[in-house]
Structure 1
Amino acid sequence: MSSSITNTGASAALKILSHNQYKTPRLLPTSLDPSPLVQFNKWLSGALDPVAAGEEEGTPKVHEPEAMTLGTATKEGVPSSRVVLLKEVDPTGFLFFTNYSSRKSLELAANPNASLAFYWRETSRQVRVVGRAEKLTRAESDAYFQSRPRGSRLGAWASEQSTVIGEHTLEERVKEIEQRFGTDPDGKVDCPENWGGWRIIPDEVEFWSGQPSRLHDRFRYLRNKTPAADGAVWNINRLSP
């Protein structure tokens, strides 16, 4: 592996010249689960605890593998992206939680098409997801909200996420919320009505495994729009690197 940066002046273009060679265990059709959600859980388990997951000896743990780039778009199609944290993969999709008044939530409400991207540098793996968003039920959102640290629960009340704010406004709001709910560390903090979870239900999932000379392994799952003759829910194909 070698890399360098060239910059010939303050007004010149900054060029990054890198030649990282990736080498991961080959990704083969026989190793793929018929469900991309199950396959993702296998990879996530390996990222969290490679030894327990039976990964190749010497495979490193991934730092914060639940971090994912969420892509949304306005009704007019103007995109935006940010990193959020995956909290669960259920039999239907990928779950995360946020303020329903935030930019991402407003965009998902207006345009439910969304994308996710995971990049695990330590293991040279990527997962890309395209799907549609749906809100979780209040019961599901409240159950997760109550599992959060008390400070995070109070913060959800104090923050009007994505809005312009004064320099000391947030600190003042936090104090007001603390007074409202008291100082008992075990005291209940209700889940705000404008806070909750989203589920991204995938229609497309791609698994990418880095290989030497940029000849990477790529497999894409596409949801069958009509029932397949063999009953398969997903169509799986290798993609050219």
Structure 2
Amino acid sequence: MSNTSDISALRREYVAAGLHRRDMLADPLAQFRGWMDAALEAHPDDATSMTLATADAQGWPAARIVLLKRFDTEGFCWFTDFRSDKGQQLAQNPKAELMFYWRGLERQVRIRGRVEQLPYRDGETYFHLRPRGSQLSAAASDQSQAIDHRVTLEQRVQDLDQAHAGEEIPCPETWGGYRLIPHQIEFWQGRENRLHDRFRYTLVDGDWQLERLQP
């Protein structure tokens, strides 16, 4: 018996209504906000999950799921450990892409742009909004680094909790936020027979230009 799993015959059909140019707002952020609101209503637990794709100085790509924590006219923000793989890659190559996929709505959004660190106070403010357990985990973990055993990590968390019993957990200087400043945003709507609708906004000389892409 072959160990190869052939999944080429798997199919799913997309049945959502179409996406027309007249539906697309002039401002892609406003367009994104409308789609995000619909996703939050349909699947609130997963709506803010996004794939963050980065690449290091040698061009090796890496992707992982992170959570969008805010977005506005300045960009799309998330929080993490600066020492993590993604933090190191962004230090070497401060360009990235975000991707949202909302299966129930048959929609996808890709956002590409330059990335910058948020001010420390932004990270500190958000850090202290998190549950204490999440604060302890973030402060005790040297994210992405090898460790001998989970027990070691759990002991670090316990020691840190005891050291700050009855006190606020200090936000590490190695933990905080990033902002992706978009220069390209693509909206994808699944359609029947894979004839999907795709519209891409590109920032040119300060203005957003919109074009339809072939599927």
TM-score (norm 1): 0.85
Query: In 2, are the aligned partners of 1:62 and 1:121 still within 8 Å (CA)?
Result: no
Separation in 1 of the partners of 2:33 and 2:169?
32
Separation in 1 of the partners of 2:104 and 2:84?
31
Partner of 2:160: 177
Aligned residues: 214
Could you say which structure has the larger radius of gyration? 1
Deviations 1:79-120 (A, max 9, x none): 111111111112111100000100000100110110111111
Please state if 1:18 is matched with 2:10: yes
- Change in 2 beyond 3 A, CA 1:175/1:61: closer
The letter of the residue matching 1:238 is: R
How far off is 1:19 after superposition? 2.3
Matching residue within 165, 175, 193 for 1:213: 193
Which structure carries more relative contact order (alpha carbon 8 Å, separation 6+)? Answer: 2
Separation in 2 of the partners of 1:105 and 1:125?
28
RMSD: 1.4
Deviations 1:168-218 (A, max 9, x none): 210110111111111x3xx32221100000001111110000110111110
Partner of 1:196: 176
The letter of the residue matching 1:208 is: W
Query: In 2, are the aligned partners of 1:87 and 1:96 still within 8 Å (CA)?
Result: yes
Matching residue within 136, 154, 177 for 1:154: 136
Secondary structure of the structure 2 residue equivalent to 1:154: helix
Structure 1's unaligned 5+ residue stretches are 1-8, 50-59, 228-232
The letter of the residue matching 2:18 is: R
Query: In 2, are the aligned partners of 1:101 and 1:160 still within 8 Å (CA)?
Result: yes
How far off is 1:61 after superposition? 3.5
Matching residue within 80, 84, 88 for 1:102: 84
- Change in 2 beyond 3 A, CA 1:27/1:62: farther
Separation in 2 of the partners of 1:43 and 1:68?
14
Structure 2's unaligned 5+ residue stretches are none
How far off is 1:129 after superposition? 1.1
Deviations 1:98-152 (A, max 9, x none): 0010000010011011011111111100001111110001111111111111111
Secondary structure of the structure 1 residue equivalent to 2:128: helix
Separation in 2 of the partners of 1:35 and 1:14?
43
Kindly, what percent of the aligned residue pairs are identical?
43
- Change in 2 beyond 3 A, CA 1:33/1:136: same
